[in-house]
Structure 1
Amino acid sequence: MSNELLWVLFALFDLTMVIVMFRFFGRVGLFGLIVFNLIVCNLQVIKTVELFGLTTTLGNILYASVYLSTDILSEFYGKKEAQRGVLLGFVALLLMTVYMQLALQFTPTAEDFAQPHLEAIFGFMPRLTLASMAAYLMSQSYDVWAFHAIRKRTGSKFLWLRNNMSTLVSQLLDSAVFCCIAFWGVFETPVFLEILLTTYLFKAVVAALDTPFIYFARRVEPLVHRVA
């Protein structure tokens, strides 16, 4: 299976899972998915791949779908709940970094095979996590603010507008901050600029793809309400 087809299928699957988690677990499901996607995408982002002739990092799909989760929280539960989701994701990233750095400090046995692999992945993690946390807090704070600023002017209409406008601008901010902290000096300038451009481009594509999903969320009644 080609990278391109796998990427499209992965994006559609991950966006569908946002709706599934919302359906079965409501806001709690979205909180959990925000944490899960942030942790996994910070592992996937280490890997670079070629998509549609462009070099980019993995993790863009999972990270972009976090914005769908926070937009659904904003739309159905309000600004404070969306901000709680953002803060929860930040704390999860911070704890993962601290815990894995502590794990690397333990002396492995002679028979251990995992230490070099863990060091290869998580040895670079503090810089990635710093980049991710800075970009995440800045962009998500803007996203929540912009979403509600547009909603205040348009009311319940034009969901597509506040969903896309808030996310597209915040994704640009996120990509710029993340790439500068995480990859400046790691790659040569042409490769760095290509990663910066493609990181935003692929996040923007997922942001556009999530529009029908947030409308579908309007038709979904979380089952937790029925139990309550």
Structure 2
Amino acid sequence: MNEILFLIHILLVILFLFVALRLGKNYLLVFAAILALIANLFVIKQIDLFTKTVTATDVFIIGAIFSQNLLQEYFGKEIAIKTIKITFFSMLFFLVMSKIHLLYIPSHLDTTHASFQNILSSSPRIIISSMVAFFLTQRLDIYFFSFLKKIFKAKYLPLRMGISSIVVQSIDTLLFSFLALWGIVDHIFDIILFSFIIKSLVIIFSASFMKLSKYFMKNENKNENENENEKIYE
């Protein structure tokens, strides 16, 4: 059952990704930031997938990276860098506000505080590790994706997105696992390996749809993309 839901989950994220692209770069920027936020919020829920226990956030993480790649592909490196800064600021604000929210003493009539406590009181080590890994790997993704765009002469978008995302996620998985989980969980290398396998499967499956992204571009955005591609070879 989880495997079927996982597939539907991927398809829905891809659908909303294309809708955001169609609406314009600001929508896609916000979409990327939202995906990163909910990935950090939902990371504490564990699910069984292909007989292994994993978190339910890999789809959101890959969706955020693909959103950033499409922003860079069609609107330029500057907007992709801006997206990282806005997303990181949003994550930091959410973290601080979550802690303040938990400090309020609940009313004797309140029945939700325990639930908020369970969801929002994640270990500071895990949260900080996630934010550090996100910021570093997203920056790396921008420069590596730009390098691949030059190598492939702005062709083969699905291949470029797939290669860039797999390389970056291998680093992200290692970085987050060692920063957040070292000394806490057993069999950390098994966790790293299976997490990377799941992310790679999501990337390969999702990247196959990215060729369709050009059909969701408005005409004025296509002109902006053509100007961006010309800059690559100047």
TM above 0.5: yes
Q: Of the two structures, which has the highest relative contact order with CA contacts closer than 8 Å and spacing of 6 or more?
A: 1
In structure 2, distance between residues paired with 1:223 and 1:93: 33
1:203 aligns with 2:199: yes
1:216 aligns with 2:212: yes
| Shift of residue 186, structure 1, vs aligned partner | 3.2
Give the letter aligned to residue 4 of structure 2: L
1:68 corresponds to which residue? Answer: 66
1:11 corresponds to which residue? Answer: 10
CA contact (8 A) 2:19 2:216 kept: no
CA offsets, 1:100-124, max 9 Å, x none? 1011111111122222221222111
- TM-score, structure 1 normalization: 0.90
1:31 corresponds to which residue? Answer: 29
2:20 corresponds to which residue? Answer: 21
In structure 1, distance between residues paired with 2:2 and 2:176: 24
In structure 1, distance between residues paired with 2:182 and 2:77: 34
CA-based RMSD:
1.9
In structure 2, distance between residues paired with 1:115 and 1:223: 49
In structure 2, distance between residues paired with 1:141 and 1:197: 23
CA contact (8 A) 2:74 2:221 kept: no
| Shift of residue 13, structure 1, vs aligned partner | 1.1
Which of residues 118, 121, 125 in structure 1 aligns to 2:119?
A: 121
In structure 2, distance between residues paired with 1:77 and 1:96: 27
CA contact (8 A) 1:163 1:211 kept: yes
Aligned-residue identity in percent: 25
CA contact (8 A) 1:42 1:128 kept: no
| Shift of residue 194, structure 1, vs aligned partner | 3.1
CA offsets, 1:184-214, max 9 Å, x none? 3332x22x33332222221111111222332
Over 3 Å counting, the alpha-carbon distance change for 1:4 and 1:148 in structure 2 is same
CA offsets, 1:57-95, max 9 Å, x none? 111111111111011011101111111111111111111
Give the letter aligned to residue 204 of structure 2: A
CA contact (8 A) 2:72 2:142 kept: yes
- TM-score, structure 2 normalization: 0.88
Q: Any stretches of 5+ residues in structure 1 without a counterpart?
A: none
Moved more, 193-202 or 106-115: 193-202
Q: Any stretches of 5+ residues in structure 2 without a counterpart?
A: 223-234
Over 3 Å counting, the alpha-carbon distance change for 1:87 and 1:125 in structure 2 is farther
| Shift of residue 224, structure 1, vs aligned partner | 8.2
Over 3 Å counting, the alpha-carbon distance change for 1:224 and 1:39 in structure 2 is farther
| Shift of residue 3, structure 1, vs aligned partner | 0.7
In structure 2, distance between residues paired with 1:221 and 1:166: 22
Which of residues 163, 166, 170 in structure 2 aligns to 1:165?
A: 163
Over 3 Å counting, the alpha-carbon distance change for 1:95 and 1:223 in structure 2 is farther
1:132 corresponds to which residue? Answer: 130
CA offsets, 1:124-179, max 9 Å, x none? 15333212111111111111100101112221223233211111010111111122
In structure 2, distance between residues paired with 1:125 and 1:60: 19
Give the letter aligned to residue 46 of structure 1: I
